[in-house]
Amino acid sequence: MSQHGLLIVISGPSGVGKGTVCQALLKQKADLVVSVSKTTRQPRAGEKDGVNYFFVTPEEFQQSIADGDFLEYACVYDHYYGTPRRAVEKMLAAGRDVILEIDTQGALQVMQTYPQGVFIFLLPPSGAELRNRIVKRGTETQETLKKRLAAAKSEVELAYKYQYVIVNDRVEAACERISAIIKAEKMRVMRNQELIKALVEEVKE
């Protein structure tokens, strides 16, 4: 089958559990790697530079934009996030499957620049559950909570642009569904044209 890695883009509204699902996937599948993004926001409790994100200054981020270093980038809640292009391309060329855990703005950019990617949208079980998850973080004021919920509604409407949608009711179940998608994608004809061509040439009349 195809030896080139898959670019797997996982998006969803804030609070849906993207990070938790991606970390669980990485523990289950040794052949998966996650692309570490750059961001201008401050680290949250427990986050480590170079592991969760590369935490940079706004000036450093703007320089990366000018240098064309990003596969995608976006401004979300007054902070910038971006995916380093060269690191992703190197891992894909080496046959590694790469997960991008990014917001919808970034995912829409990747759909244009890398349409052969696999685009998965995570949904919460319900609107009430999404609100509860955001509140449990303990990092939101009433004002920012209202802003995040309004943004979540707009983001969910973008799910129609993705190839797959998964309800994150349980992390384990969500991981199983994503794993099934990855297996199926690796067997798509478009990803195995060289294999088919080689076999056709080998067949002797």
Amino acid at 47: E
Task: Going residue by residue through the chain, which has 205 residues, state the pLDDT in tens, using 9 for 90 and above.
Answer: 667 899 999 999 888 989 899 999 999 988 899 999 999 999 988 999 998 899 999 999 999 999 999 999 988 878 999 999 999 999 999 999 999 998 898 999 999 989 999 999 999 998 888 888 778 766 677 887 788 788 888 999 999 999 999 999 999 999 999 999 999 999 999 999 999 999 999 997 6
Q: How far apart are CA 136 and CA 125, in angstroms?
A: 16
Q: Is residue 101 part of a domain?
A: yes
The predicted structure's pLDDT at residue 149: 83
Q: How far is CA 167 from CA 7, 106, 195, in A?
A: 21, 21, 34
Q: Is residue 88 part of a domain?
A: no
The predicted structure's pLDDT at residue 205: 64
Q: What is the pTM of this model?
A: 0.84
The predicted structure's pLDDT at residue 122: 96
> Tokens 């499957």 sit at which residue?
97
Q: Is residue 139 part of a domain?
A: yes
Query: At a CB cut-off of 8 Å and minimum separation 6, what does 36 contact?
Result: 50, 51, 52, 53, 54, 84, 87
12: CATH: 3.40.50.300
Q: Is residue 149 part of a domain?
A: yes
Q: Is residue 102 part of a domain?
A: yes
Pairing between β-strand 97-101 and β-strand 7-11 as defined by DSSP bridges: parallel
Q: Is residue 163 part of a domain?
A: yes
Q: How many domains does the chain have?
A: 1
Q: Is residue 85 part of a domain?
A: no
What residue numbers bound the domain in which 125 lies?
Answer: 7-35+97-202
Q: Is residue 28 part of a domain?
A: yes
